[in-house]
Amino acid sequence: MVEWEDGQLVQGPYVEINGTRYPVVMPEYTGNTPMTAENLNKMQTDAQQYTTELINQFKEQKILWQGDPMFLIGSQRADLSENISDQNNGIVLIWSAYSNGQAQDWNFNFSYIPKKFLDLGFSGNGYVCNLFSSKFGQCATKYVYINDTFIGGNSDNSATGTNNGITYANNQFVLRAIIGV
């Protein structure tokens, strides 16, 4: 951080033309905040504190739900330990592969839901999460209903098939956790 200090005028401003110095008339200022070292230092300190607070908001992440992995079908829902509206920015749904009858620790996918989604009046509406394995070995979507206190499922979230030439396997991914960001 730069520490500002008031200086002492040694020589006034001038312009030199053909070896002759001509004085420059300094502009006059009005206003209530003089540009002093004290004010510059305060402004710099305030900006640094604000930046630190903003960075800390993005660092804060909380686990809002973590339970048995689920496809999040129509009868399933993830009840959150805190409201989405109480998070700094929203939530992230964490998905992973599902194979051999259990959740696997690979092909993790993340679906970000901004809290502004609720502020805009879309609470309870559907949100499509696009999920893929590497090299598109598996393609899936999860259709979830976003509410302030829980995430609801849809019966299509375990479906498989082909639509518009795209083969999908929604039963190849499960919800593992939800974090507040």
Residue 21 counted as domain residue: yes
Q: What percent of the chain has pLDDT over 70?
A: 98
Q: Which domain holds residue 41?
A: 14-59
On whether both 136 and 106 belong to a single domain, the answer is yes
Query: pLDDT (tens digit, 9 = 90+) per residue, 131-149?
Result: 999 888 899 999 999 999 9
Query: pLDDT (tens digit, 9 = 90+) per residue, 122-131?
Result: 999 999 999 9
Residue 26 counted as domain residue: yes
On whether both 36 and 97 belong to a single domain, the answer is no
Q: Indicate if the pLDDT at residue 27 is higher than 80.
A: no
The residue out of 22, 40, 59 marking a domain boundary is 59
Residue 154 counted as domain residue: yes
| Residues contacting 13, CB < 8 A, separation 6+ | 23, 24, 26
What is the value of pTM for the model shown? 0.72
Residue 8 counted as domain residue: no
- What whole-number distance in Å separates Cα of residue 110 and Cα of residue 158? 18
Residue 129 counted as domain residue: yes
On whether both 109 and 142 belong to a single domain, the answer is yes
On whether both 176 and 118 belong to a single domain, the answer is yes
> Is-contact 96 106, C-beta < 8 A?
yes
* Average of per-residue pLDDT across 87-104: 96
Residue 9 counted as domain residue: no
For 127: left if phi > 0, alpha if psi spans -120 to 50, otherwise beta; the answer is: beta
On whether both 70 and 131 belong to a single domain, the answer is yes
For the chain, the domain total comes to 2
